[in-house]
Structure 1
């Protein structure tokens, strides 16, 4: 099987500014742990303050890009994955390009002249993380970029697509173009619920894309928010996963499979009207460095096996393996080679 360009991701490329901070800092900027939000004006000074006050690391991030980087790392086949999104023409943008190309991804960034490269403050306290994203240039992605022949060629070539829900805030029309292409050509299209605020405030865009999703990823908090928004009288994650999997589909070629992670609790997989639970490999607390990127890594590991047409058990196992590696390191980073078998 030819793996070149088999998996394509689209999303918001962000440079993670990651640091271990204290409760005081979270309180000052009104930030809750284990949450993901978009920066408001009150958050803007925090990026500067973090880099002055704490020991920060800069890591090429953004949810979709993290997943694609992990899938690429797991596959170890240069150019197996591609990625599109918008960056600024600046130092951070150059860093991002260097970092992604070094990891073997075929990146086609749209470079925006007017806005700086997007950043994400990753505040870590006691191993738990909170994300505050200042999208900037990531917010400027244009459908015209996707339609350029050299970029659309990546869409034509790919057999699997993955887009985090965060991209619904930027370019729902790009998502729709790719989703409709996937349905027409019997390809696999997958998305992530990504954050409670996406389910709440971008419900219409999410519902428009949902019929095209062959795989829906998310965590237990996002699943419960999705259920609440849709008036489902349950917070049982298995039940919610099942209901999402049974949502009407735009094409009957593939059934929908819902995959919900629950931290240290089993992964919930709903398909064909049934639910399966897969226990995760538990990590001793003292080995946990930070949970940033764990969900993205899970998806990346999962997709690395999916594109090889492995059974769902192997996909989940690879997802858990990748998440386990990531949470033992700072940010969404990994050793040179995986030892997954």
Structure 2
């Protein structure tokens, strides 16, 4: 099903950041100064990345978030609108637009520091003001780069409205509130986040399966633990644990690979695809994204994934 043949709707509640990206031979040690090779300023933020991914990969997308009244905010808003994303629920706050400081090494690994800025101004009242945006969606995506009470309000509102709810628990700092888990249809952490959520080691697919089972037992309906080049460990309602092998590619930059997976997965679910098909499509999209540099610039289109 091409993006021209469906207008399935996805709403993203989350962060909008300007990414400041430096490439260096390796990640610096504490107190060390390294000479970088290149620098780029690109649109990012998990919310923005996932919205762009869902839009490029076949969905009609609405973004709910906040930017500052500055050049970065104007650029982020314009970039979303250029992707065909509805920005009616992107407010302008008092704080500066959020930024992310990213270092990428020669092994394509990254280290990221986020300054929330205006993302901290997305409140439960913001969710209430824009409830119609969630009501119009088939799938609602949230992350943890906005205040936690806001995330809880978004999850609860989406559940009350009968939407398919996806939570990407990033950045994870500890277990999720117990009352959140029954609100979530698809909990999608990476291996580090799964370890943080459960307190268990997650260094292998087998350990990821154990962590996913713990999260399902705690109330999440379905859990997908993304393991980078090792694939996705799935614990799905009514099914045995399953490992979905990742496509083999030469990685250049892993920034936004997880966001690409989530956006593609949500777009496929909104179109009515099976969970199995949605996972495999999202994996292909994420694999393409790591062969390119940057966050949003790396995200492929539906045609590229299916071409």
* TM-score category of the 2 structures, normalised to the smaller one: 0.7 to 0.9
Partner of 2:54: 71
Q: Quick check: 1:241–1:258 contact (8 Å CA) kept in 2?
A: yes
Q: Quick check: 2:135–2:161 contact (8 Å CA) kept in 1?
A: no
Q: Quick check: 1:193–1:199 contact (8 Å CA) kept in 2?
A: no
1:159 equivalent to 2:163? Answer: no
Partner of 1:208: 179
Structure 1's 137 and 283: CA in aligned 2 closer, same or farther, altered over 3 A? same
Farther off after superposition, 319-328 or 180-189: 180-189
1:308 equivalent to 2:287? Answer: no
Matched position secondary structure for 2:246: coil
- Supply the distance in 1 between the matched residues of 2:218 and 2:179 (Cα, whole angstroms): 12
TM-score of the superposed pair, with normalisation by structure 2: 0.87
1:1-341 matches, within 5 Å, as: 6-23=9-26, 26-28=28-30, 55-75=38-58, 80-107=60-87, 108-113=89-94, 115-126=95-106, 127-148=108-129, 151-167=130-146, 170=147, 172-195=148-171, 198-200=172-174, 203=175, 206-228=177-199, 236-248=207-219, 256-271=221-236, 272=238, 274-284=240-250, 288-332=251-295, 333=297, 334=299, 338-341=303-306
- Supply the distance in 1 between the matched residues of 2:301 and 2:57 (Cα, whole angstroms): 10
- Supply the distance in 2 between the matched residues of 1:112 and 1:19 (Cα, whole angstroms): 28
Matched position secondary structure for 1:207: coil
Structure 1's 310 and 62: CA in aligned 2 closer, same or farther, altered over 3 A? same
Q: Quick check: 1:128–1:290 contact (8 Å CA) kept in 2?
A: yes
Shift of 1:134: 1.0
Q: Quick check: 2:123–2:149 contact (8 Å CA) kept in 1?
A: no
Shift of 1:91: 0.5
Q: C-alpha offsets along residues 144-178 of structure 1, whole Å, 9 cap, x if unaligned?
A: 33322xx22212211211101333xx1x3333333
Structure 1's 28 and 190: CA in aligned 2 closer, same or farther, altered over 3 A? same
Farther off after superposition, 137-146 or 120-129: 137-146
Structure 1's 4 and 143: CA in aligned 2 closer, same or farther, altered over 3 A? farther
Q: Quick check: 1:199–1:229 contact (8 Å CA) kept in 2?
A: no
Q: C-alpha offsets along residues 36-57 of structure 1, whole Å, 9 cap, x if unaligned?
A: xxxxxxxxxx9xx99xx65322
- Supply the distance in 1 between the matched residues of 2:156 and 2:178 (Cα, whole angstroms): 14
- Supply the distance in 1 between the matched residues of 2:226 and 2:301 (Cα, whole angstroms): 26
Partner of 1:33: none
Q: Indicate the structure with greater helix content.
A: 1
| Structure 2 unmatched runs, 5+ | none
Shift of 1:313: 1.7
RMSD, aligned α-carbons? 2.7
- Supply the distance in 2 between the matched residues of 1:120 and 1:264 (Cα, whole angstroms): 24
- Supply the distance in 2 between the matched residues of 1:190 and 1:123 (Cα, whole angstroms): 28
How many residue pairs align between the two structures? Answer: 295
Shift of 1:3: 5.9
Shift of 1:84: 1.1
- Supply the distance in 1 between the matched residues of 2:302 and 2:57 (Cα, whole angstroms): 8
